[in-house]
Amino acid sequence: MKRPAVKTENPALNRRERKDLKVLALFTAVYCRAHHDQPGLPLDLEGAGLPDLGLGRSRLCPECREFLIYAMTRRIKCPLEPKPTCKHCQVHCYRPGHREKVRKIMRFSGKHLIRRGRLDLLWHYFF
Cα separation, 70 vs 111, in Å, equals 23
Q: What are phi and psi of 41, to 5 degrees?
A: -100, 150
Q: In the predicted model, is pLDDT for residue 17 greater than 50?
A: yes
Q: Please give the C-alpha separations between residue 17 and each of 12, 57, 75, 78, in angstroms, as whole numbers.
A: 10, 20, 8, 11
Q: What share of the chain is helix, strand, coil (3-state, %, to 5)?
A: 55, 5, 40
Per-residue pLDDT of 46-87, as tens digits, reads 766 777 777 767 788 888 888 988 988 888 888 877 777 766
What is the SS3 assignment for 50? Answer: coil
Q: For residue 104, what are the contacts with CB-CB under 8 A and spacing of at least 6?
A: 31
- Report field, pTM of the whole predicted structure over 0.85: no
Tell me if 75 sits within 8 A of 51, measured CB to CB.
Answer: no
